[in-house]
Amino acid sequence: MKHTFLNFKTITLFTAIGLMTACTSDDSDGIEAPTQPEQSERWITVTGARMGTNPADGNGGTLIYAISNEDAKNPETVVDVFNNGFVAPSNRTARLQASEDGNTIFNISYAGDTGGNYTKYTVEGGKDFMPTGSEISIAEYVGTAPRWIKLFDGDQTGSAVYVSTEHQVDDNDTPDDVTDDTYLRTEAKVGVVTLDLVNSSIKNFKEVSVPLNAEEEAAGYYFSRVDMPTLNAAGDKLYISGRLSKVDPTTLESDSGYEILGSKTIVLDYPTLANPKVITSTVGHGNTNGYRSINSFEYNGSVYQANQGDPNGSHILKIGANNEYDDSYVFSLDAALGLEDTYIVAWRPTSHGKAIIAYEHAGSATGSAGKTQGFFALADLNSKTATKLDAIPSSDDLYLYQYQGFAIYENEVYLTVAPVGQDGNIYVVDTETGDVTQGAQLINATGSHFIGTF
């Protein structure tokens, strides 16, 4: 039976028009009445980013729609999230997280008047996401465009971070003559807030100064962006990923074309958020902060982290139980796939060490929306190997850079695959066997794109 999704009423405030329904006949009046999709083992929340000004900018809002995992695997199911979905509150693309069982969606609005507002919803199927708990704002701690993540501690805690920077100079007693100033360093102050996801309240906040070593600071390097706080297996350290930038010490202007340093992570005591320490990889270089999707995960007692902007292509890096990079672990995506200049835009490991990776690489096409083509691979953290998923259809307009979520149920990962502005499908990857199944149909909207499942 084909599942059809009909518009039936207008919902104000946070909802869009219509409802995805499986239709049955009402014998009393002949009207087809909508019925709620039923959950089987797990809800799969499909997420779309509507176009704002330009195709694939994702600035027109985020819409979500929940179906059962069985319907997600059924190619007869039709999902029209852009007409029938719930609008997740956010001025731009919402920053969403899901509970481990898929029954709760967590959201912090990004930018605008509601930027920094935390809300939580119970997933009830279709467009029905019922607010639960209190709405609180973390804007006073981390601003209206916070970068946040749900810690993997049983859905108990979220954490958001920001960094502020200030160039420090010695004015040599001539404060009106900047040409006489001597550059000293750029101070990076990192703010971290932890959020009680259960009780919708602030747990802790701390701002700490995070220095690099003296040589790096004298050359003008500093943390310019931080993101992706991750709790270690012992639960006593919080890792914060970062991006380095560089200023020209002689002019105080932003530098370019500089040497890319080893990938770095800030380590804080947890839950106190004190005693910052910076660790550096000798395997990977470039940034570790990622973009929209979670970039580091705890697995088997260690934390595995992707890097980006590496001159030798993206790596999966390992931070051991001793809270230091394990430089004996070398997983180059370039080497694993036989490509050059790979760039991991999003990834997610499963409980048995297999991982789905969304990536770009040198030579990737540029589609009609002006965005770089993306691909999916299945990787193994233990063997440090990866294989491109050729069963997923290729398109110049398959844009994955804003990809946010990978819903996982048992050994299966649910992917949204649709070119910008074009219809597509959910694809389900059995990470044990590598089998790929084409699932539900995804109805797209002009200039819009799908950004994953939760």
Q: Which two tokens stand for residue 143?
A: 């601003």
Helices and strands per DSSP (H, E), number in the chain: 5, 32
Mean pLDDT over 99-105 rounds to 96
Q: What is the pLDDT of residues 409-439, one digit of tens each?
A: 999 999 999 999 999 999 999 999 999 999 9
For residue 29, pLDDT over 50 is answered with no
Amino acid at 120: K
| SS3 of residue 5 by DSSP | coil
Q: Which two tokens stand for residue 159?
A: 């954490």
What pLDDT was estimated at residue 92? 82
Q: pTM score > 0.95 for this model?
A: no
Q: Which residues of 173-200 are buried (b: 16+ CB within 10 A; e: fewer)?
A: eeeeeeeebebebbbbebbbbbbebeeb
Residue recorded with tokens 């230091």:
324
Mean pLDDT over 375-401 rounds to 98
Q: What is the pLDDT of residues 239-287, one digit of tens each?
A: 999 999 999 999 999 999 999 999 999 999 999 999 999 999 999 999 9
Tell how far CA 426 is from the center of its chain. 19
Mean pLDDT over 118-137 rounds to 95
Distance from C-alpha of 390 to C-alpha of 356, rounded to nearest angstrom: 13
Distance from C-alpha of 300 to C-alpha of 361, rounded to nearest angstrom: 29
- Across the chain, what does the average pLDDT equal? 90
For residue 120, pLDDT over 90 is answered with yes
Distance from C-alpha of 156 to C-alpha of 231, rounded to nearest angstrom: 12
Tell how far CA 247 is from the center of its chain. 28
Residue recorded with tokens 């220095």:
211
- The answer to whether 364 touches 372, Cβ cutoff 8 Å, is yes
For residue 11, pLDDT over 80 is answered with no
Tell how far CA 354 is from the center of its chain. 18
Residue recorded with tokens 């929209």:
292
- The answer to whether 187 touches 212, Cβ cutoff 8 Å, is no
Residue recorded with tokens 């004015």:
171
What pLDDT was estimated at residue 305? 98
Nearest to 412 by CA among 426, 432, 393: 432
Q: What is the pLDDT of residues 190-240, one digit of tens each?
A: 999 999 999 999 999 999 999 999 999 999 999 999 999 999 999 999 999
Mean pLDDT over 361-379 rounds to 96
Mean pLDDT over 330-344 rounds to 98
Amino acid at 413: V
Distance from C-alpha of 403 to C-alpha of 414, rounded to nearest angstrom: 13
Mean pLDDT over 325-348 rounds to 98
What pLDDT was estimated at residue 21? 36
Q: Is 59 exposed, middle or buried (0-12, 13-18, 19+ CB in 10 A)?
A: middle
What pLDDT was estimated at residue 179? 57
What pLDDT was estimated at residue 411? 92
Mean pLDDT over 131-147 rounds to 91
Distance from C-alpha of 356 to C-alpha of 367, rounded to nearest angstrom: 23
For residue 14, pLDDT over 60 is answered with no
pLDDT confidence bin for 174, thresholds 50/70/90: low
Which strands sit side by side in the sheet containing 407-409, from one edge to the other?
78-79, 436-442, 424-430, 412-417, 407-409
Question: Where do the domains of the chain lie?
Answer: 137-290
What pLDDT was estimated at residue 171? 77
Amino acid at 454: F
Q: What is the pLDDT of residues 62-92, one digit of tens each?
A: 999 999 999 999 999 999 999 999 999 888 8
Mean pLDDT over 137-159 rounds to 93
For residue 178, pLDDT over 60 is answered with no
pLDDT exceeding 70 applies to what percent of the chain? 89
